Amino acid sequence: MTTVIEYHAEPAPEAAAPLIELVGVQKSYRTGRLDYPALRGIDLQIGSGELVAVVGPSGSGKTTVLNLIAGIDRPSAGTVTVDGRRIDAMGEEELAAWRGEHVGVVFQFFQLLPTLSALENAVLPLDFAGRGSKRERVERARHNLELVGLRDKLDHQPAELSGGEQQRVAIARALANDPKLIVGDEPTGNLDSVAAGEMFELFSRLNSEGKTVLYVTHDLGLAGRAHRIVSIRDGVVVVPS
């Protein structure tokens, strides 16, 4: 079992209660008749209100860790607990409902529906959850788009937006159900350095407002601005070199 060794780029929030805990987590993927071990035994705690960057080479297992925490994937062994709940033990329907309620996910490739406006994309999770009236859902989506600086782009389709603006729509969509946890898988990977910096500032602002933010990045400059860096190599957590 791997013991997590961490270093701090900036002071983390004091007395943060654990929100995320991975214990003895392993994950293998089957390719033909072979099993590929993506994670080889990870112990990890992330406190409520932390801003954490996960770094490592391609294929190291960092996205797998993110997917396990977000309930997108399941461990082959070990336990994943988020906000006091064993999400690895949930059934598929329960897990999907939990994820929609408690986690906002931001992907590298935006994953916006191209024929819908920014507002229509941002309201989709609320429509799926069936929360409130249609008018209430639209107003909440509008508020989230204004929060990320897109007050004047509500009716624009993705093709009419820059990459940075599309990622802002994706963040507004992730905020739909006001989740405690925001996770980003290379959320700045398709952005230029200016837009990437703006994305980090937005994550930092959300974190300052009480949300726990966990993001995978290859950009060590952006990683260094987090409260804490977790470095993964060959499926284990290591001291960054």
Say yes or no to pLDDT of 119 above 50: yes
Token pair of 223 as six digits: 């990683």
Q: Is residue 71 part of a domain?
A: yes
Q: What is the mean pLDDT of residues 198-209?
A: 91
* CA 105 – CA 100 distance, rounded (Å): 9
Query: Residue 183's pLDDT is what?
Result: 95
Q: Is 147 within the bounds of a domain?
A: no
Asked whether residue 135 is domain-assigned, the answer is no
Assigned token pair, 65: 């860790």
Q: Is there a domain that residue 12 lies in?
A: yes
pLDDT at 77: 96
Is residue 18 situated within a structural domain? yes
Report the alpha-carbon distance of residue 183 to residue 114 in Å, rounded: 23
At 193, which CATH number?
3.40.50.300
pLDDT at 241 exceeding the cut of 60: no
- Name the DSSP class of 63: H
Residues with Cβ within 8 Å of residue 189, at least 6 apart in sequence:
108, 217, 218
Tell me: the pLDDT tens digits for 6-46?
Answer: 545 455 545 445 899 999 999 999 888 888 899 999 999 99
Q: How many domains does the chain have?
A: 1
DSSP assignments along 116-149, one per residue? S-HHHHHHHHHHHHT-S-HHHHHHHHHHHHHHTT
Comparing CA positions, the residue from 80, 110, 107 lying closest to residue 95 is 80
- The rounded mean pLDDT for the chain is 88
The answer as to whether 230 is a domain residue is yes
Q: Name the residue range of residue 222's domain.
A: 7-113+178-238
pLDDT band at 239 (very low <50, low <70, confident <90, very high): low
